[in-house]
């Protein structure tokens, strides 16, 4: 006998399809929504419904936005000669939180992963090269992750940029995290930290 009402069961199944949400978490979230006032559930449903109606890709950087161009591409205070290339919109959000980057962005919407059928054609690399020529970009900062697919994507982009664009190419530095004991760092992290060392002379 199924003790879970069909409507609740369907919501649990929907939530379970989200990345990182297991069955237990999906059940807990569904029960939490059910216990809250109906107005909150209706507001959530309305917000979900508006996502695909109101959000589109910016034609400049391919960020999710409600306007085209997006707010960052439309910001005249931004350095148009500097572009930061990231894998996903979440990476853009993380960099923006630091307040350290004042240029513009280019979102690839993925990384090279032949096993998953993602090759260069599935990324926004061609659009990046066209944009560099069109907007007179002087520097491209590659900010892909240090995972194997992220490194492969960075290597591919660097090679293409060096061959096809007269632009300075830099890579996001990475190394020992704050508070980490050096003896616990893996070899790749340590080698990156050494390669990305900074001159401390004044």
- Structure confidence at residue 176 (pLDDT): 66
More confident site: 198 or 16: 16
- Predicted structure pTM score: 0.80
31 and 107 in a common domain: no
Looking at per-residue confidence, does 101 or 187 come out higher? 101
On whether the CB atoms of residues 161 and 167 are closer than 8 A, the answer is: yes
3-state DSSP assignment of residue 74: coil
At residue 89, the pLDDT reads 93
Same domain as 28, residue 91: no
Looking at the fold, whether 17 and 92 belong to one and the same domain comes out as no
Let me know whether 82 and 156 are in one domain.
yes
Whether residues 121 and 157 share a domain: the answer is: yes
State residue 100's pLDDT score: 87
Same domain, 45 and 88: no
Domain check: are 100 and 162 in the same one?
Answer: yes
**191 in a domain, yes or no?**
no
Question: How is residue 88 written in tokens?
Answer: 């996903």
Burial of 152 (0-12, 13-18, 19+ CB in 10 A): middle
Burial of 80-109, coded b for 16+ CB within 10 Å and e otherwise, reads eebbbbbbbbebbeebeeeeebebbbbbbb
168 and 83 within one domain: yes
Dihedral, 65, 11, 94, 135 alpha carbons, nearest 10: -30
Domain that holds residue 151: 77-172
Q: Reading across the β-sheet that carries 168-171, which strands appear in turn?
A: 103-107, 79-86, 139-142, 168-171
Q: Is residue 146 part of a domain?
A: yes
CB atoms within 10 A of CB 111: 22
91 and 48 belong to one structural domain = no
Residue 96 belongs to a domain with what CATH number?
3.40.1360.10
84 and 168, same domain (yes or no): yes
pLDDT, one tens digit per residue, over 80-139 is 999 999 999 999 999 999 888 999 999 999 998 878 888 888 888 899 999 998 988 999
3-class SS at 97?
helix
- Residue 59: inside a domain: no
The answer to whether position 178 is within a domain reads: no
When divided into structural domains, the chain yields a total of 2
Residues 35 and 84 reside in one and the same domain: no
> Does residue 32 register a pLDDT over 90?
yes
- Predicted confidence band of residue 1 (pLDDT cuts 50, 70, 90): low
CATH number of the domain that residue 35 is part of: 1.10.8.420
């Amino acid at each position: 006998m199924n003790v879970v009402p069909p409507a609740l069961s369907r919501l649990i199944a929907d939530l379970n399809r989200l990345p990182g949400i297991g069955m237990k978490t999906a059940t807990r979230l569904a029960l939490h929504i059910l216990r809250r006032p109906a107005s909150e559930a209706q507001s959530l449903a309305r917000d979900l419904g508006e996502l695909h109606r109101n959000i589109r890709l910016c034609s400049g950087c391919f960020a999710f936005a409600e306007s085209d161009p997006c707010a960052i591409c439309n910001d005249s205070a931004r350095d148009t000669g500097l572009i930061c290339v990231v894998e996903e919109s979440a990476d853009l959000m993380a960099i923006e939180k630091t307040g350290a980057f004042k240029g513009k962005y280019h979102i690839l919407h993925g990384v090279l992963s032949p096993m998953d059928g993602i090759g260069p054609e599935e990324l926004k690399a061609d659009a990046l090269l066209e944009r560099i020529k069109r907007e007179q970009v002087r520097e491209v900062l590659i900010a892909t992750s240090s995972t194997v697919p992220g490194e492969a994507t960075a290597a591919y982009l660097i090679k293409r940029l060096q061959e096809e664009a007269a632009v300075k190419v830099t890579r996001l530095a990475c190394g020992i995290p704050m508070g980490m004991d050096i003896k616990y760092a893996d070899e790749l992290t340590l080698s990156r930290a050494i390669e990305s060392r900074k001159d401390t002379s004044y």
